[in-house]
Chain A
Amino acid sequence: MPIALPSPLRRFITQVPLRWVLTVPFVSLTVGATTLVGYLSYQSGQRAVENLGQQLVAQTNERVTQELKISLQTPLLINRLNVGAVNQGQLDLQNISALESTLFNQLQQFKPISAILFASPQGTFRVVERYPTFYLGVADPPRPDQIRIYDLSNQGERGQLVYVEKGLDVRRDRPFYQRAVKTGKPSWNLISQYGSSKELTLDASQPVYDRGTKRLLGVFAVHIRLNYLSKFLQGLDTSRFGQIIIMDQSGVLIATSTREQLYKIKGEGLKSQFKRLKIDESDNPLTRSLGQHLRTRLGILRSLDQIQSLEFRYKGEPQYVRITPFQDQYGLNWQILTVIPKSHFMSAIRDNKIITALLCVLTLGVAIALGVFAANRLTARFAELSRASRELAAGNLDQRLPTDRAIYELNSLAQTFNQMADQLQQSFNRLKTALSASEGKFTIIFRSSPDLITLTTLAEGRYIEVNDNFFNATEYAPEEVIGQRIADLGIWDDPDVRIRFFETLEQQGSVHNFEMLLRTRTGQIKTLLVSAELIEIRGETYVLGIGRDISDRKRTEQVLQEREAMLRAIGDNLPKGFIYQCVYDSEMKSSLNYISAGIEQLLGLKPEDVLANPELTRSIGFDEDLAAATQVLQHSIAHLLPIDLQMRHRTSSGEIGWSAIRETPRRLEDGSIVWDGIEVDITDLKQAEMALQESETRFQEIARTINQLFFVRSVATGEYLYISPAYEKLWGHSLESLYQNPDSWLDSVHPEDRERMLQYVPQNSQLDQMQEEYRIIRTDGAIRWISTDILVVRDKDGTPLRLVGLVEDISDRKRLEKALRASEEQFRKAFNNAPIGISLVTPSGQFVKVNPAYCELLGYTEAELLQLTFQEITDPADLEIDVKSFQQIMAGEVRSCQLEKRYITKQGTPVPVSINTAPIRDQNGQMLYCVGHIQDRRDRLKVERMKDEFISVISHELRTPLTSIRGALGILGTGVLSDRPEKAQQMLQIAINNSDRLVRLVDDILKLERLEFGKVQLIMEQCSATDLMQQAINSVQGCADQAGITLSLTPLSATLSAAPDAIIQTITNLLSNAVKFSSVGDTVWLKAEIWAGQSGVGQSGVGQSGAGQSGIENTALGSANFSSRSLQLPSPCILFTVKDQGRGIPQDKLELIFEQFQQVDVSDSHIKGGTGLGLAICKKIVQQHGGQIWAESNWGEGSTFYFALPLTKEDEINSHERS
């Protein structure tokens, strides 16, 4: 894919000579490779040397560090040995000569040591010293400040006194002693001048203590001279080209490889001051410069406790600098610095760099020479090929190239070139022959053409050749034209047009159908259609032009265009209409000549479509209209009369449109008829017409048929403008009478309403609308209720113009309203007083109305319920089915629904209800409300439960004896006991006993049932209380006798109204029970008394119980303890009492025993032969007499049964008479 390059670059690339193309890449590659190799080797060499330098510096420092570690161990070791010897008792400090001897031996062994000292707190001081021969210093108490110096022989023997140093108390004046005493442990002291020598010394001291008392025995110290360190540094190889320096933490020099003096002496003699030099005060310029560099770089000094390499230049030359700290636990903190100039390593590398550069230059020269030589050979051959090609292009077709030179590819190229030149020669010859034939034909066409043909030069526009017709058209003679310039001749009417024409021609090479105005020699203007083309003749450009005179055609076209534009403007501007022209040819075939654009707006058809197919207009017309139009057309054709008709059409939106058509025919020469027509839209007009007509019809119909009367009355005149016929029906008067007398309607108004209606007739009312209800008395005497609504019609100023009224007979409505009110009242009462709950809920379940029974059942007030929905108070367990039923009602699936559910009352109690729900719908069937009736089911459920229980008990009571009977008989039936008659007899007895029990049970049940439901008619009669009791005694006497029980009766001479058989049975039952539960020898008491309130207790009863009653009797019945009942008893009454001495009744069963089948003990039923219904029967009988029955007892102490029967007035009187 070609890459689009910027044009300057492209130009540059296309003009690059071959020589450059061949030479430059070759040379560049060679030089580049050489330079790159040289550069890379230089770089790697430099890096290697750099590493070497760094390693050398590091090794030097390491070596110095090792030396320091070894040499500085010695003083500390000597002190430690001495202290150890003292501690172990090997060295006795009191034995001074032995101490001296020890110190001397040690000094002799350790060469770098200059002195070993001992000082005691008492003032004993010994020092052995090498300077360079041995000396012994001695001071003793009492003159510790007087040190005597003796010579020492090589064997350590004391020689002559050499010198006495006075005023120097080592304890006071020497720091090593004080420091040792102060710190109490081995330590280094400050470096100082060694005596008056020019050497520095370093002291190591260590105190020695008594091991028992911890008392200070003395201090050992060792002096080491530091000049040996500088000598060591000078001996290192590195010192030949670099420097090695040892300094302390504050930068004070300790040793250096430069042989300089490390201190200065200021002053002379005794006043001279010894001052050690700092690194930046050194005499050596490099050392000083480095010291200054370190001082300016405070950061370096601060971090001198770690190994560092520095960037440092001395006199512009970079140096390798490495600082290594040297520290020990006794307080030494020194730095070792090694400085080596980089140039020491780099000089050889630098020399190598120059040689590499020279080799590169040499390579460059050779590469250029070779490239130029090869390029020259190639370009010469290409130049030859280029020259031959150019000759060939210029028409020199006999050019050929040699094909026997060096380079095979170039020879092949020359051969191809020669073949191409041969082919060109042959083609050229063929063309030349064809051209001369064509020239002859062209000359003939040129001369005889009816068009104007010219040949002019392009440069000057000079006529070279024109054809004959040119002279005819321009009216110029040949001599006036040939050789003249177009501009000078002036045949172009507008020079600007001419200039534009030629410019276009020059740009495009040709122009076609260019319209120009030509001015003839006589000034006549003609329109010409000109085409021209540039042609090349013998290297010069000419214009070949051809023109055609179109003046006549132009004129005709112009007139036509103007007419058509006018017509089109008229047609297109017709509002909702269009014009057209249609033709019926002599064979009566129709076609459209023209149709204006308005047809689209009117009929929804495009003009071009209709022109193509005129039948389109028929497709949207109506058949009957088209048929009528055809008739009119035929008539018009026959008589050449204008057409004027209205037609309907269907609009695009499906509505019916109306249009009016007017056409005028004329017959043409060829026999065809042309109609010029116009069609305009009259839909609005037609619709208005029809609407008016329809409205009028409808109005008349309404007015005639409706029962309501309406009228229009002028406010200004008071006259009726219109009254509908219903007036006659309503009022019973003629319309005419009201037209004549507008107020005559008032005559029929009920006298009670007339006054009101007289004022009602509005004249200047401010109201726009009025409504009134009143009565009229018709001619037949009937009274009707009338409602009148009046609307006031005003003009734009608000002045009333007309009254439009609607009058209606509302008698029926009034009657219905009254009936409805009454009905509503009835309904309201029924709703509120209904014994069942009634509610009205919305489709969402919201209560809208509830009656008092509903509220009472649910414990809510009406206001509270109206805030709730039925869903909220329904038991959640029943909600789903309830809501489902409600939805079925709403959906109309069921007409009503009955279900049983539970509501939750306000107090939270569930209430079972049965609910009937039915919808109330509007006239569209839409549900408005749901009415619900609820009934409390609690009573019913209770009854059902009781019934269940009763049946269960009865069933059980019946089945129990039946089981025994069935069992006993079944066993007998098998014959299994046939050989055991006593057993068989037992079985038979079981069957008999249980049969009797069953009979009694059934009897009692029936009796009770009859009593329960009032089926037993108690026939009341006056009975003697004593008789009743006696008869009862008689019926149980047999049993009592059999059981050995005494029956005691307390009679009462009183009568009462009662059913005797029933009361006898009651007493009998009570006595029978008493006998059953008594033991042999017991007594059962029966007693009756009249009860007339509490004060009267026992009045007659006790009184008449008679003397001779046993004490037990009196105690038992004399004052019956029934005060709890007394207040509820009817007064007066007869109180019967039956008392026994049986087992008694538990307190919790005193009430229960009067219920059915509620014996104190279940086994009583068969043991005592009871049915469990006796007391229930008694209770029923007493209750039916209006009396009461109860029992009192203490468990184990017998029981007392009471029943009280009320006395009537008659009873009382009878009783009194008796008494």
Chain B
Amino acid sequence: MNAAKQILIVDDEEDIREVVRISLEEFAGWGTIAATSGMTGLQVAKTTPIDAILLDISMPDMDGLQMCEELQADPHTQNIPVIVLTAKVLPSDRQRLAELNVAGIITKPFDPIIIWRKVAEILGWAI
């Protein structure tokens, strides 16, 4: 198990942030940083060394899609793998996601026991 991983969780829903945080920390042993909006998440990503971002899509001010584009535009952040957490399940929503260069998509709701496994699987990390 790799304990050195640092994951940024960006979601405006506090409860979801909490659930994800506990899942990653308790089950995978990874460190987490939580951000409540796209803007905050972007600042963290640019200033703190992190290994991956779990990103919600529907957020006020700067949504997940915009944040993704900003990450892509910055050479410092463009290589950070992004996994999208979304409750959008319609084909039209998925189409927009497919246009983004993201490492994976996890649909809400998800099983907190296996979310860390999914993240590790998507990112190819050994667990």
Q: Is B44 an interface residue (CB 8 A)?
A: no
Q: Is B1 an interface residue (CB 8 A)?
A: no
Contacts of A994 in B (CB 8 A): 15
Q: Is A377 an interface residue (CB 8 A)?
A: no
Q: Is B69 an interface residue (CB 8 A)?
A: no
Contacts of B15 in A (CB 8 A): 961, 964, 967-968, 990, 993-994, 1166
Q: Is B47 an interface residue (CB 8 A)?
A: no
Contacts of A955 in B (CB 8 A): 87-90
Asked if A963 and B12 sit within 8 Å, CB to CB, the answer is no
Asked if A956 and B23 sit within 8 Å, CB to CB, the answer is no
Q: Is B112 an interface residue (CB 8 A)?
A: yes
Asked if B23 and A951 sit within 8 Å, CB to CB, the answer is no
Asked if A962 and B90 sit within 8 Å, CB to CB, the answer is no
Q: A948-B90, A1162-B12 are in contact. Are A962 and B19 (CB under 8 A)?
A: no
Q: Is A386 an interface residue (CB 8 A)?
A: no
Asked if A967 and B92 sit within 8 Å, CB to CB, the answer is no
A969 to B: closest C-beta gap in Å: 9
Closest to A958 in B: B87
Q: Is A965 an interface residue (CB 8 A)?
A: yes
State the CA gap A387–B29 with chains docked (Å).
150
Among A958, A963, A1162, A1166, contact of B19 (Cβ-Cβ < 8 Å): A963
Contacts of A993 in B (CB 8 A): 15
Q: Is A971 an interface residue (CB 8 A)?
A: yes
Contacts of B36 in A (CB 8 A): 1163
B103 to A: closest C-beta gap in Å: 20
B12 to A: closest C-beta gap in Å: 5
Asked if B12 and A986 sit within 8 Å, CB to CB, the answer is no
Most buried by A among B26, B87, B90: B87
Q: A956-B87, A971-B23 are in contact. Are A1163 and B12 (CB under 8 A)?
A: yes
Residues 837-862 of chain A: 1 if any B CB is under 8 Å from the residue's CB, otherwise 0?
Answer: 00000000000000000000000000
Asked if B19 and A990 sit within 8 Å, CB to CB, the answer is yes
Residues 961-990 of chain A: 1 if any B CB is under 8 Å from the residue's CB, otherwise 0?
Answer: 111111110110110110000010011001
Asked if A965 and B23 sit within 8 Å, CB to CB, the answer is no
Asked if A959 and B108 sit within 8 Å, CB to CB, the answer is yes
Q: Is B13 an interface residue (CB 8 A)?
A: yes
- Describe A's contact surface by its main secondary structure: helix
Residues 979-1022 of A at the B interface (beta carbon under 8 Å): 983, 986-987, 990, 993-994
State the CA gap A163–B18 with chains docked (Å).
152
Asked if B112 and A971 sit within 8 Å, CB to CB, the answer is yes
State the CA gap A964–B17 with chains docked (Å).
9
Asked if B89 and A968 sit within 8 Å, CB to CB, the answer is no
Asked if A963 and B92 sit within 8 Å, CB to CB, the answer is no
Q: Is B77 an interface residue (CB 8 A)?
A: no
Q: A948-B92, A952-B90, A1166-B14 are in contact. Are A967 and B60 (CB under 8 A)?
A: no
Q: Is A736 an interface residue (CB 8 A)?
A: no
Q: A993-B15, A1166-B15 are in contact. Are A966 and B87 (CB under 8 A)?
A: no
Residues 922-966 of chain A: 1 if any B CB is under 8 Å from the residue's CB, otherwise 0?
Answer: 000000000000000000000000001001100110111111111
State the CA gap A993–B13 with chains docked (Å).
13
Asked if B13 and A952 sit within 8 Å, CB to CB, the answer is no
Closest to A1162 in B: B60
Among A951, A966, A976, contact of B109 (Cβ-Cβ < 8 Å): A966
A958 to B: closest C-beta gap in Å: 8
Contacts of A952 in B (CB 8 A): 88-90, 92-93
State the CA gap A955–B93 with chains docked (Å).
12
Asked if A967 and B13 sit within 8 Å, CB to CB, the answer is no
Q: A952-B93, A1163-B60 are in contact. Are A971 and B22 (CB under 8 A)?
A: yes
Asked if B20 and A967 sit within 8 Å, CB to CB, the answer is yes
Asked if A966 and B18 sit within 8 Å, CB to CB, the answer is no
Q: Can you pick out 30 interface pairs between chain A and chain B where the beta carbons lie within 8 Å of each other? A: A948-B92, A952-B89, A952-B90, A952-B93, A955-B87, A955-B88, A959-B87, A959-B109, A960-B87, A960-B108, A962-B109, A963-B109, A964-B16, A964-B19, A966-B110, A967-B15, A967-B19, A967-B109, A967-B110, A971-B23, A971-B112, A976-B22, A976-B27, A983-B22, A987-B19, A987-B22, A1162-B12, A1163-B12, A1163-B60, A1166-B13
Residues of B whose CB lies within 8 Å of any CB of A are 12-16, 18-20, 22-23, 26-27, 36, 58-60, 87-90, 92-93, 108-113
Known: A970-B111, A974-B113. 17 other contacts (CB 8 A): A952-B93, A956-B88, A958-B87, A959-B89, A960-B16, A963-B108, A964-B16, A966-B110, A967-B16, A967-B20, A971-B19, A971-B113, A976-B22, A987-B22, A1162-B59, A1166-B14, A1166-B15
